[in-house]
Amino acid sequence: MRLDVERIIRLLPRGKVFPDEPLSRHTSFGVGGRCSALVLPSNVDEIVSLVQYLTEEEAPFIVIGKGTNLLVSDRGYEGVVIKLADNLSLVEQNGELLFAQSGASLSKLVEFAIEHSLSGLEKLAGIPGTVGGAVWMNAGAYGAFFGDRVASVEVVSFSGERLTIDNPRFSYRAGFEGKEKLIITGVYLELTPGDKTVLSSVASDILEKRRKNQPLDMRSAGCVFKNPPGDSAGRIIDWLGLKGKRVGGAQVSPVHANFIVNTGNATASDIYDLINLVRNKVFEKTQIALSLEVVTVGRF
Ligand SMILES: Cc1cc2nc3c(=O)[nH]c(=O)nc-3n(C[C@H](O)[C@H](O)[C@H](O)COP(=O)(O)OP(=O)(O)OC[C@H]3O[C@@H](n4cnc5c(N)ncnc54)[C@H](O)[C@@H]3O)c2cc1C
């Protein structure tokens, strides 16, 4: 693909463009090859201009947030990566309604809600990533799901139209119905009044549980597999004795069996091969086909 980087720079006077950028710098696993260009738009108008141009040129592109749920191939991604994190990070309150732009940090949004005595997000404390990523994945923890609180989602379609989707229907770790070919730019959340001290203590307890049960000192992308109906992927992997299993620099975390960690020098292929090894062993012993929660980018 021949990409006119100068044209992109002209289309985004306030944004930033990094040609040939290593994606390992933008993923929590710390692995992944280069993309043709990484683009950081500074506002929604710039997203519109950019996608109109990329769609017209038939140039491949993807959107990422903080890359905390991504496994990018060592060969990288031949196309444009639009990163919405830190840029587009406005968070506003209007009574029990919160508006957050998709690049806002989910943790900051959770803190903001607690600070304003609003309940509904406190159990999501400690999930890394952006608001856009949380919408796309329907991020959840301890029985709470981001999608449960979403009243509407603001998006830009791949043809550059700005749309609002009211009352979107979310499902487990799959975002909302009809999300394909849409870039999430913001979200309205309906929360309920709560006691700040209580909400704060729920969030602290959850952060403490995460510190105990998750390998937070190692690079990972959180849980690798979705839980199969009525069971936990981590429980099955642990039961099969796979904790600590390694391929190259990738390891099934000895702390949490559904986490694969980069012990320092893992490649994306090491992680991918270990994922397949675990998946095959689980299928062999239980006939359960685990599906990936982590999103893969590029060719493996
Ligand atoms: C230590 C650790 C713990 C974790 N714990 C949890 C947990 O408890 N629960 C949980 O659900 N997840 C958890 N995760 C996974 C991850 O943090 C979440 O899935 C998070 O919501 C991803 O957000 P992100 O901004 O990093 O998205 P990315 O990883 O950048 O992207 C994820 C997907 O969303 C898409 N996407 C992102 N932003 C947009 C946008 N604006 N428009 C369109 N598409 C977009 C991407 O294309 C990709 O398909 C954990 C990860 C880590 C590293």
The mean pLDDT of 51-73, rounded to a whole number, is 97
User: What is the rounded distance in angstroms from the CA atom of residue 294 to the CA atom of residue 141?
Assistant: 15
Where does the pLDDT of residue 173 fall: very low under 50, low under 70, confident under 90, or very high at 90 and above?
confident
For residue 133 and ligand 1, the question of a CB distance below 6 A is answered with yes
CATH class of 215-297: alpha beta
Residue 174 confidence (pLDDT): 86
Largest CA distance in the chain: 56
Map residue 81 onto helix, strand or coil: strand
Closest Cα to atom 8 of ligand 1: 141
279 C-alpha vs ligand 1 centroid, how far in Å? Answer: 21
68 C-alpha vs ligand 1 centroid, how far in Å? Answer: 5
184 C-alpha vs ligand 1 centroid, how far in Å? Answer: 13
Where does the pLDDT of residue 26 fall: very low under 50, low under 70, confident under 90, or very high at 90 and above?
very high
Helical axes 106-115 vs 196-213, angle rounded to 10°: 150
293 C-alpha vs ligand 1 centroid, how far in Å? Answer: 10
The mean pLDDT of 274-284, rounded to a whole number, is 98
Give the mutation target among 23, 46, 48, 69 for probing the ligand 1 site: most ligand atoms within 8 A of CB. 69
Give me the residue spans of the domains in the chain.
5-83, 91-199, 215-297
pLDDT in tens, 92-128: 999 889 999 999 999 999 999 999 999 999 999 999 9
Closest Cα to atom 52 of ligand 1: 222
Give the number of other CB atoms < 10 A from CB of residue 188.
18
User: What is the rounded distance in angstroms from the CA atom of residue 202 to the CA atom of residue 215?
Assistant: 21
The mean pLDDT of 15-40, rounded to a whole number, is 97
User: Which ligand 1 atom is the nearest neighbour of the CA of 68?
Assistant: 26
User: What is the rounded distance in angstroms from the CA atom of residue 278 to the CA atom of residue 268?
Assistant: 15
Closest Cα to atom 19 of ligand 1: 69
pLDDT in tens, 243-276: 999 999 999 999 999 999 999 999 999 999 999 9
Q: How far is CA 66 from CA 10, 24, 258, 261, in A?
A: 25, 12, 20, 17
Tell me if the domain spanning 5-83 has CATH number 3.30.43.10. yes
Taken as a whole, the chain contains a residue count of 300
141 C-alpha vs ligand 1 centroid, how far in Å? Answer: 13
**What is the model's pTM?**
0.97
Averaged confidence pLDDT in the chain: 96
CATH no. for 91-199: 3.30.465.10
pLDDT in tens, 133-150: 999 999 999 999 999 999
